[in-house]
A = this chain, B = another copy of it.
């Protein structure tokens, strides 16, 4: 990873450590043995004791594992009217009538979860070149009224204006993230987790560009950051910062149909970014 003798700027290190927080071991991360639900199946150590011969047969071991229905749920974010939006669908379930739920589906028998999430995206939006990243698993045994289902949450970012975007089903709607009160299943906490994840991520990685058109003005970029982070930023400092990163390409075009002086349009230079990324010594947010 890093050579032991290589020095890095403490700056980066410090800036992060200064914001350090810790979840005390007795709080969020406490042992939950007391409240643990008991499984009928043998644990692996038990299995090894009771089936000393079987352990070498990995197929029969796997066959002995309990099996759980697995779904993926996609939190699909878009940016429109200076608001962060999320694509939701009217719940299929009677008990969640009038509630909205995330776009999800079960994982196929031999399907990688990333593939399943891409499949959901493709089926629902028609788009196939979309930012997608796994966030985390939600596994509360009572999270689904139809029985035990584990879901893996994915966060997706797309340009709501993209010409390929086709929301055909009329039960699909974009919702302003801040206006959503409750949802079907545990989808509200899942959305919250993905939103918090996004807020953190766009400060470390230039994910935000996935929400914008190919060409964008700095005002749009700033609006995006302000909307997602829920803060206001100084225009001059914002511009200074992004220009100093030197990944914006001036394409010598201007906004059109705005009732004021039009701003310049830029593209994000992925290639340059990728190259310069490798040069960075020091801490690397891989």
Contacts and interface: CB of A to CB of B under 8 A. Distances in A.
B30 A129 contact: yes
A15 B17 contact: no
A205 B175 CA distance: 33
A33 B119 contact: yes
A128 B16 contact: no
Contact of A204 (B16, B25, B92): B16
A256 interface: no
A81 interface: no
Given A14-B241, A69-B67, A71-B65, A204 B108 contact: no
Interface in A261-286: 268, 270, 273-274, 277, 280, 282-283, 285-286
A19 to B, nearest CB: 6
Interface residues of A, number: 131
Nearest to A97: B56
Contact of A33 (B104, B122, B152, B274): B122
Contact of A93 (B12, B58, B203, B205): B58
A104 B150 CA distance: 18
A210 interface: yes
Contacts of A139: 107, 112-114, 152
Interface of A: 1-8, 10-26, 29-33, 35-41, 43-45, 48, 55-56, 58-63, 65-71, 92-95, 104-115, 118-119, 122-123, 128-134, 136-137, 139-141, 144-150, 152, 196, 199-200, 203-207, 209-210, 225-226, 229-234, 237-238, 241-242, 244-245, 247, 268, 270, 273-274, 277, 280, 282-283, 285-286
